[in-house]
A and B are shown apart, each in its own frame.
Chain A
Amino acid sequence: EPEVTQTPSHQVTQMGQEVILRCVPISNHLYFYWYRQILGQKVEFLVSFYNNEISEKSEIFDDQFSVERPDGSNFTLKIRSTKLEDSAMYFCASMGPARFAFFGQGTRLTVV
């Protein structure tokens, strides 16, 4: 079964440091997403990406965040200067022709 792969599974970083979260979406999918889930809370939309550009972003996705698809397979989320409140599980998802999302296993980001 096709799957979305995320690395690393857990990242611990110092406040103010930059982190890059990586995702390999399913190969024939066209829509890519990053979601965030603070422990025990709902899945929050961050950004969607289609046709090599951001199609929509939430108010959470401020100037500290950026996304890239550098080589046609990887899809990355960069947080430039992490804050304590960025600690969360970050899920990458991709969507294909059937218009539902496949989620990766997530990266647990801990900012200390």
Chain B
Amino acid sequence: GQQVMQIPQYQHVQEGEDFTTYCNSSTTLSNIQWYKQRPGGHPVFLIQLVKSGEVKKQKRLTFQFGEAKKNSSLHITATQTTDVGTYFCAGPRQGGSEKLVFGKGTKLTVNP
């Protein structure tokens, strides 16, 4: 079945450092979505990328969708303590159902 892999599983940074998490799907995705889950919270939608090669920015966050629509990355510039949480990518398989398959997530901790 469809698998979504994320690396790294954990990342610990000093405040002000950059952070990147990578997502790879075993199948072509119709779109890729990123969610953030704060400790003790629920996943909250951040962004959706649909087009091959698409890049979107939200303030210090930059999201990319690969040309083959099978991989994606999230880059945070100059991390802040408010960025702490687990970042999940998720996507429905292209031509498949609306089932969202989540990666294992990257847990980010930020040292002030």
Contact = CB atoms under 8 A, between A and B. Distances in A.
Interface string A70-104: 00000000000000000000010101001111111
B24 interface: no
Instruction: Decide if the interface of chain B is mainly helix, strand, loop or mixed.
Output: loop
A48 B99 contact: yes
A102 B103 contact: no
A48 B98 contact: yes
B11 to A, nearest CB: 15
Interface string A15-43: 00000000000000001010100000111
Nearest to A91: B42
B42 A105 contact: yes
A106 B42 contact: yes
Given A56-B97, A91-B43, A104-B42, A43 B48 contact: no
Contacts of A99: 31, 48, 92, 98
Contacts of B98: 31, 48, 50, 55, 95, 99
Contacts of A33: 99-100
Interface of B: 31, 33, 35, 37, 41-45, 48, 88, 90, 92, 97-105
